[in-house]
Amino acid sequence: MTRKIERGLIELYHEDPDRADRLVFGRVAGPDRRGFLRGAGLASMGALLGTTIPFNANMPAGLIPAALAETVNEFAFDAKHADMIVHNDRPVNVEAAVHLLDDDVTPADKHFIRNNGQMPYPIDRGEWRLTVDGEVNEALELTWDQLMNEFEHVTLRLQLECGGNGRAGFNPLPRGNPWTIGAIGNAEWTGVRVSDILRRAGLKPSAVYTGHFSYDQHLSGDPDRQAISRGAPIDKIMDPHSIVALKMNGGDIPIEHGYPARIVNPGWPGSTSQKWLTRIWVRDREHDGPGMTGLSYRVPRHPVSPGTEVAHEDMMVMGSMIVKSAITDPVAGTEVRAGVPFEVRGQAWAGDDHVTAMETSIDFGATWQPATVEAPPNRYSWQRWRASITAPAVGYYEVWARATDNRGRSQPMVVPGWNPRGYLNNACHRIFVTAT
C-alpha cells in the first residue's frame, strides 16, 4: 500500500481544507467555521499555539495561523547563508528566510537566486564580450575593460524581485517554485547605464524592445537552446537606473548572480535582468525569446476565477512589480512582554513606484496603526519602515504589515487575483509573536 506523505500544512489546506481542519482541529471546515473558532476549535488551536488568541473574534475563516504556516528548510547550499531556503538544485532556486531581508543592502549570501538553466562555469572576463545589435545604427562588440574604462559608472541600491515571489500563497497552487516572500534582494550594483550603451550604438526609430541573451546552458544541455531570453520595452530599458552591472556590493559579481556582467532592470520581474549577459538584441517588436511567450511571466488581461485555464492570447507580459512589504524583525515566534512596547521593522518596495505609507495591525486587520517609512536612497531601492507595537494582554498575536504606494494602491489582506503561474502576490505579510 502506498502511503501519501503530507509535505506541510499549507499544502494540506490547498489540497483539502476539510481534511486539514479535521486533522488539525478535529472539525470540518466550512461556512460554520466562524462558530467553530469560538468553541472547541478555538481551544484546539490555542492548545497547538500554547496560548490564548485575544483577537480571535477578528480571525478570518480558513486562516492558517502564521505560527503553523512556518516552513522548514530541508536543504543547504554552500554559497549561501544557512537560513536560505533552497527550492531546487537543478536549476538552482533559492530564497531568503524573511529575517535575512533586514539589511538595507542585501549581502550576496542572503540574496535570492532564480535560475532557469544550468549554472555556468565562470568565463574569463578578458574573453567576455557584449554584443549589441539589431535595430541600431552601429553594431557593437564591447569588452569588460571597455565598459569599465570608456563609460560613466553609477552605483545604486536596486531591488530585484522574482515575478513569482509569494506564489506559495495562491490556491490552487500554480506551477513553479513555491516562493514565500524571500525572492527579493536590494544589493548595491555598480555598472554602466544601458541607455549609454544603446546611445553609442545609435537606436533606429524602429527600436521598440530589447532581447537579452546569456551563456548559461539549457537544462537539456542542448547548445542550440536558450535557457531564458527576456527583454524590456525601450522606454523602460532606457531608464537611467537600468544598468549593465559589473560589480555587486563593491566586489566582483558572484557567479550565481551573473559574473562577469548582468543586466539589472529594477522594479520589473527579475527575469528581465539577464545574468551572464552576452548580447542585447534591439528589436522592432516585442521580444519572443524563451520566457516571453505563452504563460511565462504573463498575467490575464482580465480577472479570472482561481484555477481557470487562460488562453495564451488573453495573457499580457508583466511590467512593473506591485507594492509590497516584509516584516524582517522580530523573527516569527519571538516572545514579547504584554503591555510593553516593542519595535517591528522591515522593508517596503513598489516596483516602478515608491512607498508613501506603512501600517501595522495586531487584531487580524480590524484596526491599523501608522508606521514610519523612510525615503529611499535612490529610486528603485527598497525602503526601511518601523513601528512601535504593544500587545495589550498575554496571548498569541499576529503582526500584519501593509504598504501603500504613491498612486494610493495598498496591499490586500488576502491573496490578490489568481493567475496560471502565480505571479504578483502582494498580500500583507504577517508574523506571530507570543506575549507573556
Grid cell digits, residue 192: 554602466
Burial state string for 319-348 with b = 16 or more CB within 10 A and e = fewer than 16: bebbbbbbbbbbebeeebeeeeebebbbbb
111 in Cβ contact with 186 (< 8 Å): no
Q: Predicted confidence band at 53 (pLDDT cuts at 50, 70, 90)?
A: confident
Q: Which amino acid is at 347?
A: Q
CA 233 vs. chain centroid, Å, equals 21
Element (H, E) at 22: helix 17-25
Element (H, E) at 187: strand 184-193
Q: How far is residue 258 from each of residues 123, 129, 179, 185, 414, measured CA to CA in Å?
A: 10, 14, 21, 14, 35
Give the span between the Cα atoms of 169 and 420, in whole angstroms: 13
Query: What is the average pLDDT across 79-85?
Result: 88
Give the span between the Cα atoms of 338 and 306, in whole angstroms: 40
Q: What's the farthest any 2 CA atoms get from each other in the chain?
A: 74
Identify the pLDDT of residue 44.
59
Grid cell digits, residue 160: 530585484
> Is 50 a residue whose pLDDT tops 90?
no
Q: List all residues 6 or more positions away from 365 whose beta carbon is below 8 Å from its beta carbon.
A: 58, 60, 400, 413, 428
176 in Cβ contact with 167 (< 8 Å): yes
> Is 9 a residue whose pLDDT tops 70?
no
Give the span between the Cα atoms of 120 and 164, in whole angstroms: 23
SS3 370: strand
Tally Cβ neighbours within 10 Å of residue 139.
Answer: 12
Q: Is 143 exposed, middle or buried (0-12, 13-18, 19+ CB in 10 A)?
A: middle
> Is 207 a residue whose pLDDT tops 50?
yes
CA dihedral 418, 431, 383, 261 (to 10 degrees): -70
The reported pTM is: 0.86
Go through the domains of the chain in sequence order and give each one's CATH number.
9-58 (no CATH), 85-317 (3.90.420.10), 324-435 (2.60.40.650)
Identify the pLDDT of residue 5.
36
Q: How far is residue 128 from each of residues 198, 255, 260, 278, measured CA to CA in Å?
A: 19, 14, 8, 8
pLDDT tens for residues 283-324?
Answer: 999 999 999 999 999 999 999 999 999 999 999 999 999 999
Grid cell digits, residue 24: 488539525
Identify the pLDDT of residue 18.
64
Percent of the chain with pLDDT over 90: 78
SS3 198: helix
pLDDT tens for residues 375-407?
Answer: 999 999 999 999 999 999 999 999 999 999 999
Tally Cβ neighbours within 10 Å of residue 363.
Answer: 17
Give the span between the Cα atoms of 327 and 428, in whole angstroms: 10
Nearest to 169, CA basis, from 369, 11, 373: 11
Q: Predicted confidence band at 192 (pLDDT cuts at 50, 70, 90)?
A: very high
